[in-house]
Structure 1
Amino acid sequence: MKFRWTPPQTTLGRVSSPQTPSGAAGNPAPSYVYSERLYVPAWWWLAGAVVTGVLGYEVSLAAHGALWSIAGYVVFAVVIGWLLWSMGRIRIRVTSDGELIADKATLPRSVIDRAASVPPTAKSAALGRQLDPAAYLMHRAWVKQMVLLVLDDPDDPTPYWLVSTRHPEQVLAALDLTDARHQAVSKKSESD
């Protein structure tokens, strides 16, 4: 008996419906109060150039120095450049309507119950055993911090969103949310 894997159905429902392209019929272009692009670190481009040089040199050696072997450098440069560019094309945005857009997924402010920033020291715990399989995850390994958005939407089984960002305080401020992590620290210091 053969088992065939079928992709799971989306569980994000209306929360993550694809955004309508800007300027589509009847939809004005949204204005953003916060926008961030999750670029790869600059040293990755330098490492990509080194890898391009090494691989191009290997092709040149295999071709015994033939003139066409220069194409190896070009091909590797294009492939590695495209790979690095595509890895860093993700945008995190907050519209003036209070909607978070993480790449192609959207989250209205009305369904967010509370939020917290996830510091680099707690990132591995948040992505490890504590991660709920039903959570929406927009993770980029080279971005050290994240923001946790706990949802209160009875129509959506997604408990929370974890989104990589270099500036979690600015994302929360743009969404007009307070950081629950800082509230817990201030309450603890007041009780002492």
Structure 2
Amino acid sequence: MESYRERLWPAPWIGLIAALAIPASLLTFAPISVLVGGIVGTALALGVIAAAVASAPIIIVADGMLRAGSARVPLSLVGETTVARGDEARLARGQQLDARAHLVLRPDVAPVLRIDLTDPDDPAPYWLVSTRRPEELAAAIAAAPRT
């Protein structure tokens, strides 16, 4: 049974940026054909949006496991969690980041949750996960049964 599920959808402004491919293609292909430029620009914009949606990671707490993107860890190996927003999140992603940490980050999702691992054999000391609801994710991890 899932106690938490979140898909990190891309922000709406990603679609606006992708739409800039249309006028760029129109300008590029204008000497050849405006129609071709419009078709190529639309295809490029839709491709960028499709790639952003397809690459959106899912975070799930269920069945004694934490899944973030393609990685998963048993909740029995999860230690403390720390919510970071604003400047704290920026520092956690940058100056304070351990190069060994497992990252599931979206540039358009500012808050992060640091999830410490207690497995001495795991080379990653913690996971750093982007989430729009870090307090809810931390609560779901804390409340989930450890198996």
Tell me the TM-score normalized by structure 1: 0.67
Change (3 A) 1:127 1:69: closer
Which of 4, 14, 17 is matched with 1:47 structurally?
Answer: 17
1:130-163 CA-partner distances (Å, limit 9, x unpaired): 2111111111111110111111112212211111
Which of structures 1 and 2 has the bigger CA Rg?
1
Structure 2 runs not aligned, ≥5 long: none
Displacement of 1:68 in angstroms is 4.2
Task: Provide the residue aligned with 2:122 in structure 1.
Answer: 156
Query: What residue in structure 2 maps to residue 14 of structure 1?
Result: none
Question: 2:6 matched to 1:32?
Answer: no
Where structure 1 has 5 or more consecutive residues not aligned to the other structure, the ranges are: 1-30, 178-192
Partners of 1:136 and 1:108 in 2: CA distance: 15
Task: Pick from 57, 78, 97 the counterpart of residue 90 of structure 1.
Answer: 57
Q: Distance in 2 between matches of 1:114 and 1:171?
A: 12
Q: Give CA-to-partner distance per residue, 1:111-137, whole Å, 9 cap, x none.
A: 112111111221221122221111111
Q: What secondary structure, in the 3-state scheme, does the structure 1 residue paired with 2:122 have?
A: coil
- How many residue pairs match? The answer is 143
Structure with higher strand content? 2
> Percent of counterpart pairs with the same letter?
31
Aligned match of 1:79: 47
Give me the CA root mean square deviation: 1.9
**Normalising by structure 2, what TM-score?**
0.85
2:108 counterpart residue number: 142
Asked if structure 2 preserves the Cα contact closer than 8 Å seen for 1:45 and 1:84, the reply is no
Contact kept? 1:98, 1:175, Cα under 8 Å: no
Further displaced range: 152-161 or 142-151: 152-161
Aligned pairs (5 A) from 1:62-73? 62-65=31-34, 67-73=35-41
User: What is the letter of the counterpart of residue 77 of structure 2?
Assistant: V
